[in-house]
Amino acid sequence: MSGWHAIPSEPELRLWLRSNPLYLSGARELVCALAKRLGFDDLSCCQIALAVDEALANIIRHGYGRRPDGPIWVSLYPTPAQPDTKPDAKGGPVRAELAIVIEDEAQQVDPTQIKGRELDEIRPGGLGVHIMREVMDEVLFERRESVGMRLTMRKTAPRPEDIQRRPCAEAGRADDGCGRLDDQTPSGPSGPNAGAS
Amino acid sequence: MQVQSERQGENAIVRPIGDVDMSGSPELRAAIRQAQQGSPRRLVVDLAHVAYMDSSGVATLVEAMRHAQGAGSELILAAMADRVRAIFEIARLDTYFKIVPSVEDATP
């Protein structure tokens, strides 16, 4: 996609985590909170968090074979909106952008072979890449120079007129847009599977 | 993530509470499997307290649906938040499942 800001040599934020699914929620909340501060609408914040989650899950599942100790770096490159600068190609103000680079030291694969599967067949699994490509404006897989893979994803905040709905803000739910609801657990009957994880 | 389960006659209700991601989806899968082992006529997954679901959660529900279809029983998703529904729409599974606004709508 043309018109992207160049990714600086150093990120504004970098998260290092091990390939343990327990840490996915923390990564989601960080990315969602940053996107919200940049001015992304609730839907876009949700989408960005989902894309990061799917990317990390794929690294954990396929790259590291579910090993919980593999290193993963999530680097964030925010570009705030610039309402007072030269308008973009469509005459509107320059909108906020968020670039996310996720790197690992896992098994390398041919980037051209990383494709979302066909959705005609309904079966569990294989949706992660499709979801990333649907919700982000750019998705690029690369081999790192020595070991592992690098995934670059970017998203530009939509124009106000393109924001169709606000799925994260529902009547009666104290949702801050990043998935945290008011802290109320139902007091209904508990079965054999009840209990904290 | 917590998962509550209950049986109401021929209906089984599974109620995940929290985020259904790669960390939490195994618990949901286990709860659904256990509920389906009781051969309910109808299994309702109450998503009212699920603020987030990723493709691992979707895969769990697809697997559950396939099991239900094989067993000749019904699986219904209830009280799905819009942001959760969005992932079903991206995966083009929003018409594959029966989705109702509440558990009461699923258990007449």
- Please report the domains of chain A, with CATH numbers, ordered by start residue: 13-84+94-162 (3.30.565.10)
Chain A and chain B share a number of CB contacts under 8 A equal to: 122
Other beta carbons less than 10 A from residue B41's beta carbon: 12
Cβ of B5 within 8 Å of Cβ of A194? The answer is: yes
Distance CA A55, CA A151 (A): 8
Report pLDDT for A81. 86
The pTM of the full predicted model, rounded to 2 decimals, is 0.84
Which residues make Cβ contacts (< 8 Å) with residue A76, sequence separation at least 6?
A11, A12, A13, A14, A15, A30, A31, A34, A98, A99, A100
A144-165 pLDDT per residue, tens: 999 999 999 999 998 877 766 5
Confidence class for position A84, pLDDT limits 50, 70, 90: low
Span of A51-65, A155-169, B59-73 with lowest mean pLDDT: A155-169
Domains observed in chain B: 2-106 (3.30.750.24)
* DSSP-derived 3-state class of residue B4: strand
Does the pLDDT value for residue B79 go beyond 70?
A: yes
Least CA distance to B33: which residue of chain A? Answer: A193
Q: What residue of B is the nearest CA neighbor of A124?
A: B59
Residue A192 pLDDT grade (very low, low, confident, very high; cuts 50, 70, 90): very low
